[in-house]
Structure 1
Amino acid sequence: MSNSPDVLFLMLDSLRKDRVSTYEHDRETTPALSTLATYATTYENAFTPAPWTLPSHASMFTGSFPSEHGVTNGFSDGMSRLEPSQSTLAEELSAEGYRTAGFSNNPWVGQLSGLDRGFDEFVEWDLEISSEMDDGIHTRRDERYSKYHSILGKAARQPVFLLKRRFFTDSLVDRANRWLTRQAENPEPTFTFINLMEAHSPYFPPKRAFEELGLEVPGPLEPRILNTKLLAYVMGKTDLDAETRRRVMEYYDASVRYQDSKVEQLLGLLQTEGLFDDTLVIVCADHGKTLGDYPRDENPPHYLRDINLNVPLWIKRPGQSTGETIEDPFELVSLFDVVRDGNPPSGRYTRDVAIAEDFVPHAGRTTPDEITRWRVAADQEFKYVRNDEDEEHLYDRADDVSVSRPDPDRLEACAQRLSERVRGFGSDRDETDDDGSTQAGHEIDASVEAQLKDLGYM
């Protein structure tokens, strides 16, 4: 590693690019991120390696695509976990002398998938402290929360919405702030990973977030009713009518605005401690979120729309003080190398085409007999989509519509570019399994499964 700067890797789970004011959304949902953009590089065509949390995080933590690392699907009767032979970003940085800490709002990112490996400190979604070093960042109350985390996990289920999300988000950010403050006194470089889930349903933003955006403040019953309708939609049981969807998007924006205040706290602390200038700061989404934008039964699946794949990304390199914008495609899987390099030039890891993979269905109670893999190759203008049965589609990215009669030469060129990239993958583990599935891991705990159900995964 040529450089060893402090690293803040902030994951804003399910944050849609089109709802971010930095990317010209008409509501000021992200003023803190707009401020960051004046110092950082903003990527217009950043692509996630997968359109949902588990494989996307596994790719960023290993620097490999889903079909390479094998963490493609999660099912409650035996889920995929990262193999012990595969090293994670935190493990590699730890071996280089970094002090590492992770704070995760999402059940998939932690012990459940093995993505907690390499962290000296790790706090799970239900506030369990799964890894701890004697640094005093946890209060006595935090220790009690960890001891009784299973009770807190059950209390976090959707019906008890006063405990939902904000309680956990506030606690995780507070602990991350204490960690950063204490590490400012130590000579060793630090790697801090934080996953926040305010942009992921269900949505219970505070009233002040609605007020700040000039939106109607909900009454005491509306959040519960609206999120019940939304969960039914996410589970494929019903569609969202126009008025419900309009209100859902207002809740989404208010949630993003509240989350942005937490981003402001974290970045403000780096400024206060004199750490901001020399820290590598990465802020991105692991994927977007479809909320009634497209038919849920469309083919190719709606997960492959740009709303899910083309995500917001900002990288502030150590010493960078002037914002810039990069138009060339960038793959989030390359963030592994960005962090390992420490301070690479902003355009080093851009590509002519970005690759993504989707293994459908994603998760559920029982592993299905058949899993379909789709692959995507996207440049600035077009997006080529193909599955393992060689069904292929071409999208015009200007409005993300399928080209009804694509030019055969363009289609062939796109297909060739995708095949060339795939041949360069380090391994293709799923090819050995007839159903596209990977190695089975331990069964999911009942309380975690219940939380995944309320998040719409099960």
Structure 2
Amino acid sequence: MADRPDVLFVILDSARRDRVSLYGHDRPTTPTLDALAEEATTFENAYTPTPWTLPSHCSMFTGKFPSEHGVTNGFADRRPALPASTETLAERLSERGYRTAGFSNNPWVGKLSGLDRGFEEFVEWDLEIGRESGAGIHSRRDRAYSRAHSLLAQAARQPVFLLKRPFFTDSLVTRAREWVETTADDPQPTFTFLNVMEAHSPYFPPDEAFEELGLTTPGPIEPRLLNTRLLAYVLGKADLAGDDRDRVLEYYDAALRYQDAKLAELLDTYRDLGLLEDTLVVICADHGKTLGDFPRDGEPSHYLRDLNTNVPMVVRTPGQRGGERVDDPVELRDLFGLIAEPGADVSSLAREHALTEDHIPHTGTTKEEVDRWRVISGRDHRLARSEDGEQYLFRRGESTVDERTIPSPERTEPAVLSALSEALDDRLADLTETDDHGDTDEAIGGSTEAQLRDLGYL
């Protein structure tokens, strides 16, 4: 790999591995990603550092686990942020002479958490132009949206769902394409980052996405009603089962299909400008999404299951021709080194085991007592252990939904349990936890808090 290739880093927020056609789903939800994989490396066992958005992004942007960078939870009565002393991926690349631009669909990913640091251009979830370099990528209309961003954010809350597509995902991808076109002839390499969250509820895919998958298109009322029931499930106020769950999964698949079409537009821009061949392309999810697959009050938490921790990931290095698949576990936090360090090799990502942390609850309106878990994952088994010493061994089945849970140490394989327990102890011994959490007592408030509530975070 060249020492300073252009970099395109796309995070498909909440994309489930088992719903991605690249990984065997029977609906063609991701034809663009499938085609890219023919000349890229597909990772079968890519593990997120933690199964929710904020700390997962912080880990990918720092190369540290949540307990090391300090961002573990998000509560409305305080503002979670990376410590100023912790270098971000964009800051590292900027120091190396990269031009940097970020476009985020998620309120957690941006100035709220400090993840906008190091970007010369950054567009926030509500179309606010948070950082601007003078590259000229923003139109007069874009600036009008930015000035009215708080009003747009309020208007685009869940009930007024018709605004979600034209004002947010489509607009951010268009801005990213304009950035790529504007900087195409610049002698400096570029780092372009996007968070797109079509796979994150609420779901309002366009009719053509349903049609392309052979699914029944929704009527004018169904999306709002279905998403209201889904939000109740996300907040733990109702179950999601039967016909509702089946229909939600159809919406989910259609959302992935629409998102994939936006990804195609972005990759085509690189291809048409002759840039794709020499660009490092990294596409992954930050975590999965439980949609009625496991009891929400079960033990251990559904967040610890493969469904939420084992995510899709595809990497295409500059000049790569043939596709390949890697079965060994990899950790998404190692993407920091792959992207930031000159000459880093994809093969260096492979590990014998992958570590995941989870601090539960993830979010809330006020600071709550936290239950901490760690999970060590190999090819065939996974061990989850709480801070109090409670343990569960998972034997991975044919699919995540059919995963069988075996309480340990009863009725389990002693050699497997011993090996994973030792591997987990070794990894924990290498962690250096921080006391600097970077957050302040400043409440989140305003339209951002309202949007986080509508997304089911608070």
Shorter-chain TM-score bucket reads over 0.9
Alignment match, 1:94? 94
Describe the superposition over 1:32-66 as per-residue Cα deviations: whole angstroms up to 9, x where unpaired: 00110011100000000010000000000000000
Alignment match, 1:400? 403
Matched letter for residue 318 of structure 1: P
Alignment match, 1:237? 237
Matched letter for residue 378 of structure 2: D
Q: Distance in 1 between matches of 2:387 and 2:241?
A: 34
Which residues of 2 match residues 17-416 of structure 1 at below 5 A? 17-368=17-368, 370-398=369-397, 399-404=402-407, 405-416=411-422
Q: Distance in 2 between matches of 1:415 and 1:80?
A: 32
Q: Shift of the alpha carbon at 1:439? A: 4.5
- 3-state SS of 2:254 partner: helix
Kept after mapping to 2: 8 A contact 1:156/1:165:
no
Q: Distance in 2 between matches of 1:54 and 1:231?
A: 19
Q: Shift of the alpha carbon at 1:167? A: 2.4
Unaligned runs of 5+ in 1: none
Q: Shift of the alpha carbon at 1:407? A: 2.3
Q: Distance in 2 between matches of 1:238 and 1:342?
A: 49
Percentage of identical aligned residues: 58
Q: Shift of the alpha carbon at 1:148? A: 0.6
Matched letter for residue 98 of structure 1: Y
Q: Shift of the alpha carbon at 1:79? A: 3.3
TM-score w.r.t. the length of structure 2 is 0.96
- 3-state SS of 1:402 partner: strand
TM-score w.r.t. the length of structure 1 is 0.96
Describe the superposition over 1:71-129 as per-residue Cα deviations: whole angstroms up to 9, x where unpaired: 00000111321000001000010011000000000000001000000000000000000
Matched letter for residue 72 of structure 2: T
Kept after mapping to 1: 8 A contact 2:103/2:193:
yes
Describe the superposition over 1:366-415 as per-residue Cα deviations: whole angstroms up to 9, x where unpaired: 111x1010000000100100011011110001242212422233222211
Describe the superposition over 1:339-369 as per-residue Cα deviations: whole angstroms up to 9, x where unpaired: 023553331121000000000000010111x
Kept after mapping to 1: 8 A contact 2:78/2:443:
yes
Relative to structure 1, is the Cα distance of residues 249 and 21 closer, same or farther in structure 2, using a 3 angstrom cutoff? Answer: same
Q: Shift of the alpha carbon at 1:166? A: 4.5
Runs of 4+ off more than 4 Å: none
Q: Distance in 1 between matches of 2:75 and 2:173?
A: 29
Unaligned runs of 5+ in 2: none
Task: Using the TM superposition, name which of 413-422 and 38-47 deviates more.
Answer: 413-422
- 3-state SS of 2:276 partner: coil
Kept after mapping to 2: 8 A contact 1:2/1:341:
no
Kept after mapping to 1: 8 A contact 2:82/2:439:
no
Describe the superposition over 1:266-300 as per-residue Cα deviations: whole angstroms up to 9, x where unpaired: 11111100000100000000000000000000111
- 3-state SS of 1:352 partner: coil
Q: Shift of the alpha carbon at 1:424? A: 1.1
Superposition RMSD in Å: 1.4
- 3-state SS of 1:386 partner: strand
Relative to structure 1, is the Cα distance of residues 186 and 2 closer, same or farther in structure 2, using a 3 angstrom cutoff? Answer: closer
Q: Distance in 2 between matches of 1:393 and 1:189?
A: 46
Q: Distance in 2 between matches of 1:314 and 1:43?
A: 6
Q: How many residues align?
A: 451
Kept after mapping to 1: 8 A contact 2:122/2:131:
yes
Kept after mapping to 2: 8 A contact 1:81/1:441:
no
Relative to structure 1, is the Cα distance of residues 201 and 438 closer, same or farther in structure 2, using a 3 angstrom cutoff? Answer: same
Relative to structure 1, is the Cα distance of residues 74 and 292 closer, same or farther in structure 2, using a 3 angstrom cutoff? Answer: same
